[in-house]
Amino acid sequence: MVAKSAERIVQSPVKRGTVKTSTIKDAIKSVKSSHSDN
């Protein structure tokens, strides 16, 4: 049986990247918000 996606935990990467996490989060939220407005 396939589980609901809400039950799973998305893990974080082990290493840091070159782009700040807060910058990525803001960009993702902004795109999500702009798409939901359409």
Residues of the shown chain interacting with another protein in the complex, contacts defined by CB under 8 A: 2-3, 5-19, 21, 23-32, 34-35
State the minimum distance, in angstroms, from the CB of residue 37 to another protein.
13
- Reported residue count of the chain is 38
Is residue 13 packed enough to be buried (19+ CB in 10 Å), middle (13-18) or exposed (0-12)?
Answer: exposed
Residue 36 Cβ, how far from another protein at the closest point, in Å? 11
Three-state DSSP class for 11? coil
